[in-house]
Amino acid sequence: MAAQYAVRLAVHMKAKVTLLSIVEIEMETAVLRNWKVLEKQMRESATKGLSKLQAELSAGKHGVEISTDIAAGVPMEDVIENYAVTKKVSVVVMGTKGATGLRRILSGSNTATVIAKSSVPVMAIPSKVAFNAPKKFVYASDLTNLTSEIRLLARIAKQFQAEVLILNTITSGSSKIDKKLVPDAISKTRYPAISFHQIQSKSTVEGINKFVKDQKADLLVMFTHELDFYDKLLGKSVTRTMAFQSHIPLLVYNRS
């Protein structure tokens, strides 16, 4: 469960956890004469669910402060974004069951949608994944903004004494990167447990999945970038695809 993962993560990060429930009020519902009654009922139901979950998580006696809150509105990704920014949230943790093919296109995913919108880091937790302090990060990168991104990851990795594996996937042709780029970026972090890996694969997603599995990684880290109109229309986002396909926690930072 993503909530349990968030609590265990908070122990290591010395952080607080807020269990947030979104009450989705559609415009069609809001214009009804009894919309206030409906909203009240939805809030009461959400409060009961949150209180039960809070009690279950607090029973673990882990020492983490756990609070609850409710936010109303649509769409969900906007509500979460506004809440995270207003409350100065450090990371949004959400669960994901995963879906592929036509099912993914038709059903969508709240987590993937939030990833696309959020200016706050989002951690997607696959179902049935139990928390283990991550000891090996795979940082899938196109090597853009490498220096600033690897510095950020190095600071996080130090808290877990974890290894960081920078992964660059080539789908066609050969590498054209500056040979000094990666060594220079790594040296600037002053963190010794960083290595660079470049692989060739028919697709970026397949390459990342195989590398993560072969390396037995604990956490996949990616940075999103703004997609143009056609990419958004066709769903050509490696990061959002990984939100569906990754079998380990996925931590996403938004570059924009």
CATH code for the structural domain at 136-254: 3.40.50.620
Distance CA(65)–CA(184), nearest Å, equals: 40
Least trusted range by pLDDT, from 35-44, 101-110, 137-146 = 101-110
> Could you give phi then psi for residue 143, rounded to 5 degrees?
70, 10
d(CA 236, CA 57): 37
118 CB neighbour count, 10 Å cutoff: 22
* pLDDT band at residue 98 under the 50/70/90 scheme: low
Token reading at 107: 């059903």
* Of 35-49, 131-145, 168-182, 231-245, the least confident: 231-245
Q: Which of 2, 20, 19, 3 is nearest to 79 (CA)?
A: 20
- CATH 3.40.50.620 given to domain 2-126: yes
Asked if pLDDT for residue 4 goes beyond 90, the answer is yes
Between CA 164 and CA 166 the distance in angstroms is: 6
Residue with tokens 């009804």: 32
Phi and psi at residue 24, to the nearest 5°: -85, 105
pTM for the full predicted model: 0.87
Look at residue 107 in the predicted model and tell me its pLDDT. 39
- Give the per-residue pLDDT at 110: 83
* Mean pLDDT computed over 104-126: 77
The residues pairing with 140 across neighbouring beta strands, listed in sequence order, are 167
Ramachandran region, residue 88 (left: φ > 0; alpha: ψ -120 to 50; beta: rest): left
Q: Where are the domains of the chain?
A: 2-126, 136-254
Matching CATH topology for 2-126 and 136-254?
yes
| 24 — pLDDT class (breaks 50, 70, 90) | confident
pLDDT tens digits, one per residue of 208-256: 889 999 999 999 999 986 544 334 433 556 665 655 567 889 999 987 6
Angle at 22 between CA 18 and CA 27, to 5 degrees: 155
pLDDT of residue 139 exceeding 80: yes
User: What are the strands of the beta sheet with 122-126, ordered from one edge?
Assistant: 92-96, 122-126, 250-254, 219-224, 136-140, 163-170, 194-200
